[in-house]
Structure 1
């Protein structure tokens, strides 16, 4: 009887303890659909949670990690490392949490409010086994004569370390095919562990496409393919290609000449519009083209030239005296010449014709030359006579 009462009391005590725990923790729903998104050494814990159970409260989340071997010993159960504390997002980044690539870890998350917390939701994670492998960080495709050269860069970790140093037995699968035929049957797959690969035995002057995939044989992991790259192979230049290149060069030259001719014509038209050429009248061009018709300036001290001399009788005593003196001087000269055997008419013969100089012409010429030896008043009067 006493034993039954003791057992009943223990049962009641345990019942009330469970009720108290449910009052504290039971109101908040734990996170659901906890998953881990990974790529190489990038690890992001994600979860879902419905806010219906805590409408009037501010809700946050806490995520922690622990090495799995510590979970078996009670003394190490308090060594959980908090990576995200009271965050509002439904994700937590464990990339820099110190998770060794070949270790085993426990990751957990719960919901927090100011008064309550939900139960922990825990998952197990082994990076070497569960982390996804990424494609090559870079792929280069070069044409080397008739072959194609592929240069592959290893995928990198969060600390820029090559994944070949972490992932066991890692290799690459290379797919290449003619760009004109992209069917699945035409794609050739090449397996290699090298980072530099030469594709040979390809068709000349043909464009090929290439993409690369990272693979791990230990856990049979494979990445997505890299971006597709296409390149044309080389080869010897054929006669048809030489003819085509020549025709293209000739066409280019003709186009350049045509454009130059158009620009030249446009330049002349524009110049004619803005800078028109104005020609002088014909009679002005004829006058100015001859040097004999050009106006000349006479030096004040030079001899006067008289084409025609017209003598008019002026009833001025001084003028008549001057004319008489000039005639007398001329008669004296002429008589002296006549006395020496010359006649009163002189003639000179030239190749181009005959020129007759009469006594009257000699007298007029001497009269015009003599006027420069007189006074200023006499000079002015003789100038009037000459004119």
Structure 2
């Protein structure tokens, strides 16, 4: 097996629109090069990446050798967070996803205490009603941008309800989120700083309002949350609420939109799903998540000690990232991984990661995606993507999604006849 050096990264592109439109050949070439290889990443610089399912799951579960905080690897700061990042960005990095034990466990216990009071399955009816309401508004125009008018709006409404944010604030919040979601480089980061600062200020105000007058929603519950005499401090509260907003919004947005793209590109699989959507939807969404992999990679981590990982020597202080997208199409784990099979089972994909940093909201994301696709295709089974060969894939590291999804909505036969 080839042994690489981080100083000589391999020239693989995992950010361009061309890659995002069809990532399978690149991931196959990366796996051929080895399970752990060096490449150069935007913002982050030279880093090791895992390319196989086995290496990726081993990395994310090994929080002794691979850590988020630089102090555990002879470095300063947080893995992937550059020294020149604005203070606002460093504040938002003070969340449990970027913490090691025991701080991660402390923060996770506090948010779990608030979050787990929610019966996600019991929310399904409300989520489906929200989806129906949005689709009612879309039934008129011949063409709509499904990304911004449905797949982004639905999870935004759900997470705002969950957090207890006022209805009157959701439009401006959606605008802030759209701007921050467009960050693809340093210029994009600079443009987004203003909206991000406004969002941080807004979150701070909401926390203060909940302190003065507790109300229904996770913000109030996080303010009141306490475990063994421990509470979240001001900065931890801000970063935690911000994390829930972003994590509960952007990933699900792209999961829904990417799923529509995949179904329209695979008409036989779409027909299979729509022939009996109720019992088939749960397994279908797991396969759509694997096949599209809207989350392409984990957060970068530091190598905590000199080690050999899958026969590759790694040095303390070097960066490593798990390529979830590559793991999810590894033929060693999935038969015919480049093929969409909505009845695939078992399906050990890593879209929601694994180990201590597994996605807190994964059950909510699943229910949202299932509800969105069920309601969308019940109403508009004949929808079609306008210019499917010219989809505007976002050139952003770690996310696979489009910036817009123009579709023509065709009514179901019964509704057309009416």
Using the size of structure 2 for normalisation, the TM-score is 0.14
Using the size of structure 1 for normalisation, the TM-score is 0.15
Rg: which structure is higher? 1
Compare the two structures and name the one with the higher strand fraction: 1
Compare the two structures and name the one with the higher helix fraction: 2
